[in-house]
Amino acid sequence: MPIPGHIDPVPVPREVTAREDGRVDLIGLPRKQIAELFETAGLDAKAAKLRAKQVFHWLYHRGVTEFEAMTDIAKTMRPWLAERFVIGRPEVVEAQVSTDGTRKWLLCTADKQDFEMVFIPDADRGTLCVSSQVGCTLNCRFCHTGTMRLVRNLTPGEIVGQVMLARDALGEWPRGANDTRTGTMAGLDFDDEDEEAASAYTPDGRLLTNIVMMGMGEPLYNFDNVRDALKIVMDGDGLALSKRRITLSTSGVVPMMARAGEEIGVNLAVSLHAVTKEVRDEIVPINRKFGLEELLQACADYPGASNARRITFEYVMLKDKNDSDDDARELVRLIKQYRLPAKVNLIPFNPWPGAPYECSTPERIKRFAEIVFDAGISAPVRTPRGRDIDAACGQLKTAAERKSRAELDRLAEEKQAALG
Ligand code: SAH
Ligand code: SF4
């Protein structure tokens, strides 16, 4: 049977359109580049460096969205900055909250490309699922995002911007000690009392504690932008999230995996989903380019993987496709053969209209999990979250495309009002 879908990264059809007003968005730029821009705009080298450091702190540590709020920068300097630069956020097209607390946002870039972001609260953590591309070139057969045409890579600013927006919406910028007001989409202005409270702030009570690069897109096909964005997320004076709390998920772009370990150093998740060439070729077509042996060897070589920092194998449970006892036993054999410090996440398939598969039965999933677990490998079954708000990756975007622009604008206004 011919397998649909291309496996090579297609040339990205369109680069980012420049802002019409000629100003530069600072979100996503490293400190050094901000300093260079300030210097080009007329500051001397020393002043540019100092201002860049201050601005970086305000952007990422305090989450301000207006230069006017940067109180340690001279009053005359603030309009100078505002004339030349902006502090961007992705636009919210639609925001939904599930009955189980999962939140999903349909976001929009300045050049009107829609993409998604999901926040999943749990008892001990809150995980933000971040997108790396608009669409995906890889056409995994069970994945709804794979049915979309890739529009373009997201920029570092649009990737970091998702985390910034989540913190805005969850009210998690340092302002009173762990003030959890829901949603401040506009600029925050601090007074002296806030300054004091901010210095006493600790991240412990935050809702957003973890990030997974598991939204739309293949992060290793947008390597540079994902790396630059995550560097800011991990920067001690940036969003200051530990690399141990960030996970990058790949469908198996083998040639980029070592670089991901060396240059980003976050936890690795691999969308394995099948243990034979035949089945993986069908459901994860990149397997025809980088086969199972190569992929597992790259996992064995992944810098930083250890028993304390295991590689996660994602395995979507598809009825009569990859869910037999033999499949489970082969999974165990492969993990042992390559001596992988691994855990397995069993994901019940989340169906979407027209999907060519069904989810395995609960009994089948339970049996599969037992076989893996009995071999000494952790194999939790993921509870589906946010089913009532179209949680399967890519669904919100498709649902939104069926609505008219006017309807979306009205919804966006309502959501802004609800969040703000
Ligand atoms: N492109 C990367 C990251 C985004 S996909 C990758 O493939 O790893 C994130 C995870 O969601 C992957 O493991 C993917 O296989 C899984 N996924 C996609 N569609 C799904 C569906 N309909 N049901 C369950 N899991 C799905
Ligand atoms: Fe792309 Fe990942 Fe979906 Fe495959 S599973 S189509 S790689 S987003």
- pLDDT tens-digit readout, 203-252: 556 889 999 999 999 999 999 999 999 999 999 998 999 999 999 999 99
Nearest ligand (C-alpha, residue 353): 1
pLDDT at 29: 94
- DSSP-assigned letters across all residues of 112-125: --EEEEEEEE-SS-
Residue 275: how many CA atoms within 13 Å on its side-chain side? 19
Q: How far is CA 23 from CA 31, 51, 81, 85, 229, in A?
A: 18, 18, 10, 5, 20
Residue whose CB lies within 8 A of the most ligand 1 atoms, among 216, 283, 316, 398, for a mutation test:
316
- CA dist., res. 299 & res. 234, Å (int): 23
Q: What is the pTM of this model?
A: 0.87
Phi (first) and psi of residue 136, to 5 degrees? -155, 145
Cβ of 315 less than 6 Å from ligand 1: no
Angle at 201 between CA 199 and CA 205, to 5 degrees: 175
Q: Is 407 annotated as a binding residue?
A: no
pLDDT band (50, 70, 90) for residue 24: very high
Give per-residue pLDDT as tens, 254-277.
Answer: 999 999 999 999 999 999 999 999
Cβ of 390 less than 6 Å from ligand 1: no
* Span 281-302, average pLDDT: 97
Give the bridge partners for 139, in sequence order: none
pLDDT band (50, 70, 90) for residue 145: confident
- CA dist., res. 35 & res. 262, Å (int): 26
Q: Which residues form ligand 2's pocket by a CB distance below 6 Å?
A: 136, 138-140, 143, 145-146, 217-218, 251, 271
Positions marked active-site: 116, 393
Percent of the chain with pLDDT over 70: 81
pLDDT at 91: 95
pLDDT at 16: 64
Cβ of 249 less than 6 Å from ligand 1: yes
Ligand 2, closest atom to CA 143?
Answer: 3
Alpha helices in 240-344 (DSSP H): 254-259, 277-283, 292-300, 325-337
Average pLDDT, the chain: 86
Quickly tell me which residue has 């007001």 as its tokens.
181
- CA dist., res. 190 & res. 65, Å (int): 12
Ligand 2 centre from 164 Cα, in Å?
24
Cβ of 347 less than 6 Å from ligand 1: yes
Give per-residue pLDDT as tens, 364-416.
Answer: 999 999 999 999 999 999 988 888 887 555 555 655 555 544 555 565 566 56
Greatest C-alpha distance within the chain? 70
Q: How many residues does the chain have?
A: 420
pLDDT at 174: 76
Quickly count: other Cβ atoms within 10 Å of residue 289's Cβ. Answer: 14
Nearest ligand (C-alpha, residue 273): 1
Q: Is 273 annotated as a binding residue?
A: yes
pLDDT at 202: 42
pLDDT at 386: 84
pLDDT greater than 70 at residue 198: no
